[in-house]
């Protein structure tokens, strides 16, 4: 017994020394020098989490996950919303804000915030646990503060912001036509070209720093909701603050590398998909995204005061809430699967139902393995109070964590074969060549891209049947009619609707038919899951910038995001095989097989192809497979293993 205790003390001392030196080396390099790890409340609590529930989870993160590098605990959205009948994700009139129009915690759920203390006490308790504290925030200014026309604070003086001989208010800086497309009763952009607009944003983040915040997740400014001006100004503010704050963007619906390159140097992590939930379709949707961002060399590049990382979203494992309850409600029943649930469980509660992750063990292994091979941030979303042994094992697997932090040369590996039967027939090579066996679906969509994309210049104006139209003709089939939308000058603001003064100048509304009163909007009016294709939406014509377009020099630019529309073919594969490759800091090679098919597939790769891909000269290798514990022994010519449906195999190879 004494010997066991002595060994435990030695092991603990060595581990703590490793953790301290590892943390110190990361701090010396800068912010987010390695992909951040932590816990977020969204997947398990939606928006209704209380101070008590949050601190209970934080304590468990400190006890169980902190030794494995998980250090951030983040309160997700609507911490300022009162939990009462009628309040939900896109309700109006339930938010708590101060005299300067800045959100403050709901004192009913966060009692320590009373007396103007904000999150100071919560942050202090989190820091005493050895963790770092984070919050979720929305773009710009709340609609409630706009309507209340609160004064703008000059945080350098502590008084109302003054310029041009007058004080400035919320309605001077808010751009009501640019409310968040999927949360129109929530928040809007501010005019960052105005000194008052920049002062407002500065006052927000100065307050977060004063509270002791270490991590900010800024929502509805990236992907289809791009607000580059706000991203830039917030980055400048954070760069000037003495307190280091990790800067994260969310969500990344329809995000592409060409857009990410404009923001990666301004932030520390940014979402590259819609919301990821516990469905196989969501997991499978990440493979192409992971490939594209890795191939664009965007992983671990220079970011705000350190590095930045493409973020594949939280890990929805363990004990979770229902996805529908966390999405802002659509405008009608078809768009709004949450309505029936809310009616059953209480319009203001959003407290149920709860359930365990719907992914089976193979699918969960595939998710955490892909996230690690891509070096995505690892943010756990399940309730820590119900953390089961299987989920804990996945989150703390030492091989995955080593890959996630310290691997290099990470890439999708194309030289892999698979067969759906033991006879070897129905061979799948390079995971894309045999389209008949992989079941590739191709859909034509109106997609948003950077206006710098050469493909964006494909629109022209035509008069067909006495109706003026804007038509996509780039690479169009001459035997097929071009895709066209009817156009007319954008409507003026309706009575009682305040709109930013330059909003309609030269802008268009687009329709499918001449007589319709439904206008085309670039971004969906609801939050999309990771597997959903962004197709825009038709809804009642409004003066919202999401429905306004500018047509010049062959482009069709959306006034909400500043992105340009193109007609694109989106391929959605419902099966196939994938593989990823990376090298370790001790010279080891990591090889992952992923089976996206609905049945067991035997997968294989030649050793020569593996070593050639990483420019290694080694020819003698041995290894093991992580999930099965199989010892491969000396590997002769190739590695081969049957992989379960939706499952993966992870090999660690040591070559001489």
Interval 624-651 mean pLDDT: 96
Q: Is the pLDDT of residue 520 over 50?
A: yes
- Residue range 514-527: average pLDDT? 75
Cα–Cα nearest to 351, from 562, 578, 84, 570? 84
User: What is the reported pLDDT for 572?
Assistant: 52
Pairing of strands 269-271, 306-311: parallel
The tokens for 1 are 């017994």
d(CA 427, CA 419) in angstroms, rounded, equals 5
DSSP state of 95: B
618 vs 440: CA distance, rounded Å: 37
Neighbours of 609 (CB within 10 A): 14
Please determine, for residue 342, whether its predicted confidence score (pLDDT) is greater than 50: no
**Does 193 have pLDDT greater than 80?**
yes
Q: Express each pLDDT in 132-167 by its tens digit.
A: 999 999 999 999 999 999 999 999 999 999 999 999
Closest alpha carbon to 356 in 380, 387, 394, 326? 387
**Stated pTM of the model:** 0.88
> Of 264, 251, 249, whose CA–CA distance to 297 is shortest?
264
Report the 10 Å Cβ neighbour count for 442: 9
Average pLDDT over residues 497-510: 57
pLDDT for res 530: 75
- pLDDT number for residue 570: 63
**Bond preceding residue 353 cis, omega within 30 of 0:** yes
Complete DSSP assignment for 245-294: -EEEEE--TT--HHHHHHHGGG-SEEE-SSB--SSHHHHHTHHHHHHHHH
pLDDT at 488 over 80: yes
Structure tokens at 192: 């960052």
pLDDT tens digits for range 529-551: 777 766 667 788 888 898 899 98
Q: Tokens in use for 433?
A: 């060549």
pLDDT at 573 over 50: yes
How do beta strands 459-464 and 153-154 pair? unpaired
Distance, in Å, from the CA atom of 605 to the CA atom of 609, rounded to the nearest integer, reads: 7
pLDDT value of residue 20: 43
pLDDT at 172 over 50: yes
In this prediction, residues 294-303 reach a mean pLDDT of 97
Please, which pLDDT band fits residue 323 given cuts at 50, 70 and 90? confident
* pLDDT, position 298: 98
State phi, psi for 383 to the nearest 5 degrees: -70, 120
- Give the per-residue pLDDT at 17: 46
- 598-608: pLDDT as tens digits: 999 999 999 99
H helix or E strand, kind and range, residue 184:
none
* pLDDT, position 574: 55
Mean pLDDT (whole number) for 355-380: 98
Cβ(606)–Cβ(429) below 8 Å: no
Distances, alpha carbon 236 to alpha carbons 27, 161, 192, 247, in Å: 21, 19, 12, 11
- For residue 656, the model assigns a pLDDT of 84
Classify strands 72-75 and 427-429 as parallel, antiparallel or unpaired: unpaired
Q: What pLDDT, on the 0 to 100 scale, is given for residue 332?
A: 39
Q: Is the pLDDT of residue 21 over 80?
A: no
With pLDDT > 90 as the criterion, what percentage of the chain qualifies?
66
Q: Encode pLDDT of 392-431 as tens digits.
A: 999 999 999 999 999 999 999 999 999 985 544 445 554 4
Average pLDDT over residues 627-643: 96
Percentage of residues of the chain with pLDDT beyond 70 = 82
Burial of 476 (0-12, 13-18, 19+ CB in 10 A): middle
Q: Which of 229-238, 271-280, 305-314, 464-473 has the lowest mean pLDDT?
A: 464-473
Q: Say what the pLDDT of residue 518 is.
A: 82
Which residue would you say has higher pLDDT here, 333 or 402?
Answer: 402
Q: Where are the alpha helices (DSSP H) in 186-252?
A: 195-211, 228-240
C-alpha distance across the termini of the chain, in Å: 41
| 331 pLDDT higher than 60 | no
What is the pLDDT of the chain when averaged over all its residues?
86
Residues contacting 231, CB < 8 A, separation 6+: 218, 221, 222, 249, 263, 266, 267
Q: pLDDT tens across 230-272, in order?
A: 999 999 999 999 999 999 999 988 899 999 999 999 999 999 9
């Amino acid at each position: 017994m004494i010997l066991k205790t002595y060994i435990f003390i030695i092991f603990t001392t060595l581990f703590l020394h490793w953790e301290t030196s590892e943390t110190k080396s990361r701090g010396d390099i800068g912010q987010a020098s390695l992909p951040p790890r932590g816990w977020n409340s969204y997947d398990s609590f939606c928006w209704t989490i209380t101070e008590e529930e949050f601190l209970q989870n934080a304590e468990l993160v400190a006890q169980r996950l902190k030794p494995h590098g998980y250090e951030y605990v983040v309160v997700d959205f609507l911490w300022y919303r009162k939990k009462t009948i009628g309040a939900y994700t896109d309700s109006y009139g339930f938010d708590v804000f101060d005299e300067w129009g800045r959100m403050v915690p709901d004192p009913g759920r966060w009692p320590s915030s009373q007396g103007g203390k904000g999150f100071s006490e919560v942050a202090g308790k989190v820091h005493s646990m050895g963790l770092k504290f984070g919050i979720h925030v929305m773009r710009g200014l709340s609609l409630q503060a706009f309507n209340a026309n609160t004064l703008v604070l000059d945080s350098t003086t502590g008084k109302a912001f003054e310029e041009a001989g007058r004080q400035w208010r919320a309605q001077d800086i808010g751009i009501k036509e640019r409310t968040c497309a999927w949360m129109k009763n929530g928040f809007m952009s501010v005019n960052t070209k105005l000194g008052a607009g920049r002062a407002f944003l500065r006052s927000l983040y100065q307050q977060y720093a004063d509270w002791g915040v270490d991590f900010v997740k800024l929502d509805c400014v990236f992907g289809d909701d791009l607000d580059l001006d706000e991203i830039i100004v917030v980055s400048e503010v954070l760069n000037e603050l003495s307190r280091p704050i990790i800067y994260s963007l969310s969500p990344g619906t329809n995000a592409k590398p060409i857009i990410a390159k404009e923001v990666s140097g301004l932030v520390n992590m940014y979402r590259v998909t819609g919301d990821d939930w516990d469905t196989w379709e969501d997991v499978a949707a990440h493979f192409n995204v992971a490939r594209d961002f890795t191939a664009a060399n965007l992983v671990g590049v220079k970011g705000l005061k350190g590095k930045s990382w493409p973020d594949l979203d939280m890990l929805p494992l363990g004990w979770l809430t229902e996805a529908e309850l966390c999405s802002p409600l659509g405008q009608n029943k078809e768009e709004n699967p949450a309505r029936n649930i809310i009616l059953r469980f209480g319009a203001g509660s959003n407290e149920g139902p709860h359930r365990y992750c719907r992914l089976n063990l193979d699918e969960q292994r595939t998710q955490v393995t892909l996230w690690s091979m891509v070096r995505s941030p690892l943010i756990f979303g399940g309730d820590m109070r119900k953390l089961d042994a299987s989920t804990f094992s996945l989150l703390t697997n030492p091989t995955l964590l080593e890959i996630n932090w310290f691997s290099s040369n990470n890439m999708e590996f194309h030289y892999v074969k698979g067969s759906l039967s033991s006879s070897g027939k129905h061979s799948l090579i390079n995971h894309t060549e045999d389209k008949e066996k992989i079941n590739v679906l191709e859909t034509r969509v109106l997609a948003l891209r950077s206006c710098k994309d050469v493909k964006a210049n494909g629109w022209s104006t035509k008069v067909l049947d006495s109706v003026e139209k804007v038509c996509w003709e780039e690479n169009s089939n001459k035997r097929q009619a071009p895709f066209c939308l009817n156009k007319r000058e954008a409507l003026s603001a309706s009575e009682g609707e305040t709109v930013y003064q330059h909003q309609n100048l030269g802008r268009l509304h687009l329709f499918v038919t001449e007589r319709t009163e439904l206008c085309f909007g670039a971004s969906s009016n609801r939050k999309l899951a990771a597997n959903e294709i962004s197709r825009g939406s038709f809804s009642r014509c409004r003066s919202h910038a999401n429905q306004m377009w500018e047509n010049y020099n062959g482009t069709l630019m959306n006034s909400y995001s500043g992105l340009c529309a193109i007609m694109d073919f989106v391929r959605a594969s419902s099966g196939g095989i994938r593989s990823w490759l990376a090298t370790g800091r001790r010279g080891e090679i990591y090889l992952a097989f992923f089976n996206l098919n609905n049945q067991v597939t035997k997968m294989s790769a030649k050793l020569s192809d593996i070593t050639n891909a990483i420019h290694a000269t080694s020819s003698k290798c041995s290894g093991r497979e992580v999930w099965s514990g199989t010892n491969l022994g000396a590997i002769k010519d190739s590695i081969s293993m049957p992989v379960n449906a939706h499952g993966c195999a992870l090999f660690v190879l040591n070559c001489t």
